[in-house]
Amino acid sequence: MRQANKLPWLLFVLALVAIVVPIAQGTSAARDPRVPGLAKRVATLEKQNATLAKAVAALITKSNCIGVQGVVLRGTVANEGYLFKKASDNTNLYLQTAVDASAQGETPQELMAIINPQCVTGSKSFSRAGGAWTSKTSAYGAAH
């Protein structure tokens, strides 16, 4: 009778071993020699991702510094344009074409890239106006 009582327990122990051994073998993946190498690669990729995220943020900031403005070409060399005086010549006035901001309601002929002066540090700026160019007409008279 004792032998008969041992048989269910023996079957129970064998079944338990059959279940526990594969589970224990499944946890051996932590001892896999490839895991440390993969962990290093993941750490490297995380650092590269952080660096890339900073670079993208900087590009977005810089792209907000660039804009466009419409411009027109004023005058033709033959008969109209801007008058100017050379410092070395006190008697003659010269007629020259120039790029100018389009007047209100005037259709621009070209687009010119503009940079927000607040985005530039450590250098002299072309225009200290801080805003877009504006078209201003002035008459040339004898008083000039």
pLDDT at 143 over 50: no
What does the pLDDT read at residue 65? 83
pLDDT at 22 over 70: no
Name the amino acid, one letter, at 41: R
Rounded Cα–Cα distance for residues 66 and 76 (Å) = 30
pLDDT at 140 over 70: no
pLDDT at 109 over 80: yes
What does the pLDDT read at residue 141? 46
Rounded Cα–Cα distance for residues 55 and 73 (Å) = 38
Structure tokens at 48: 């590269």
pLDDT at 127 over 60: no
Per-residue pLDDT tens digits for 28-86: 555 778 888 888 999 999 999 999 998 888 888 777 888 888 888 887 767 777 888 88
Q: Could you tell me if 97 and 73 are in contact, meaning their C-beta atoms sit under 8 angstroms apart? A: yes
Max CA distance (Å), the chain: 136
Average pLDDT, the chain: 75
pLDDT level of residue 134 (50, 70, 90 thresholds): low
What does the pLDDT read at residue 144? 41
What does the pLDDT read at residue 30? 56
> Could you tell me which residue, 22 or 117, shows the higher pLDDT?
117
What does the pLDDT read at residue 142? 42
Q: Could you tell me if 97 and 63 are in contact, meaning their C-beta atoms sit under 8 angstroms apart? A: no
